[in-house]
Amino acid sequence: MTKKTVKKNKSSIQRRLIPTYIFLTIVSLISVFPLYWMITAATNTTVDVARGKIMFGSHFVENFTNLTRGNDLWGSLWNSFKYAGVQTIVALLVCSLAGFGFELYHDKMKDRLFSILLLAMMVPQVATMIPLFKMISKMKLLNTVWAFMLPAISTPFLIMMFRQNSRNFPVDVMEAARIDGLGEFQIFFRMYMPIQRSTYAAAAVITFMNAWNAYMWPKVVMTDNRAQTMPMLIANVANGYTVDYGMLMVGVLFCSLPTMIIFFILQKQFAEGITGAVK
């Protein structure tokens, strides 16, 4: 095949892909537009936002000042970081231990227990909210980080995720480590965790985003305004008699930035963990 023929084939393929590129470009713009609108709305007044203005304005400082004047923005940010961070760390440890045990030490009884555990995914959260609230109230844990994270530190989805990815864990390496005198917890912390780092990254992104965006359960157990999270603060701003959309969008922007930053930092590891890649 001559160079001229190769170039001709490449150009024909590129021409056939033009409609695909146009379609993907349009879909990408539609997907990014809400984010762009949120940022521009944070710089405009309520009147401009209501009129549908999509260009940048000059009222960001004013909107930010109004938000911090009547609301505890920094306290809510700190609460969200504290609750989501602690929940992510504890959930990763508990769920990875469970997934590690279910897969590498499994038997028929453990498989039956895992099947029962998966049935818990079918139970809606609202069905367990009243019993959980009574438990948390009797333990006197309201308005604490424990009340926020205890119902979510062991989720069937994360356990299933770690169990599935544990199937790629080299069992021969674990047996060799036992011969060298390592205990089971040493194998877990010194060998399993480094090998499964992409799975941990994916689970960390999922857990942190779910914890950061949680609203219903924190609203039930966080009765003190000093313990409110960012979603609760935004809901309070939006529930006023007159809503200042510019101020509201500033709050939404501050609430969205941490999860976006974490996802962009861990997006490669997130993709590897979701597909079950092990290094």
Query: What backbone phi and psi angles, to 5 degrees, belong to 232?
Result: -70, -40
With beta carbons less than 8 A apart as the criterion, state whether 126 and 185 touch: no
Q: Which of 129, 189, 122, 131 is nearest to 156 (CA)?
A: 122
DSSP states along 137-190: HHTT-TTSHHHHHGGGSS-HHHHHHHHHHHTTS-HHHHHHHHHTT--HHHHIII
DSSP 225: G
Whole-prediction pTM: 0.82
DSSP 96: H
Return the pLDDT at 88: 92
| The two three-digit tokens of residue 217, written as one number | 């359960």
Return the pLDDT at 10: 61
With beta carbons less than 8 A apart as the criterion, state whether 121 and 156 touch: yes
Provide CB contacts within 8 A for 106, sequence distance 6+.
none
Return the pLDDT at 279: 47
Question: Looking up tokens 């007044």, which residue turns up?
Answer: 45
Query: What backbone phi and psi angles, to 5 degrees, belong to 222?
Result: -100, 85
* Total length of the chain: 279
Coil/strand/helix, residue 239: coil
Write the pLDDT tens digit of every residue in 192-246.
888 888 889 888 988 999 999 988 888 888 888 888 889 988 888 887 677 888 8
Spatial separation of the C-alpha atoms in residues 66 and 48, rounded to whole Å: 17
Spatial separation of the C-alpha atoms in residues 84 and 215, rounded to whole Å: 12
Provide CB contacts within 8 A for 192, sequence distance 6+.
96, 100, 166, 169
Residues of the chain with pLDDT under 70: 1-14, 240, 274-279
Write the pLDDT tens digit of every residue in 79-103.
999 999 999 999 999 999 988 888 8
Averaged confidence pLDDT in the chain: 84
Spatial separation of the C-alpha atoms in residues 74 and 163, rounded to whole Å: 38
With beta carbons less than 8 A apart as the criterion, state whether 67 and 73 touch: yes
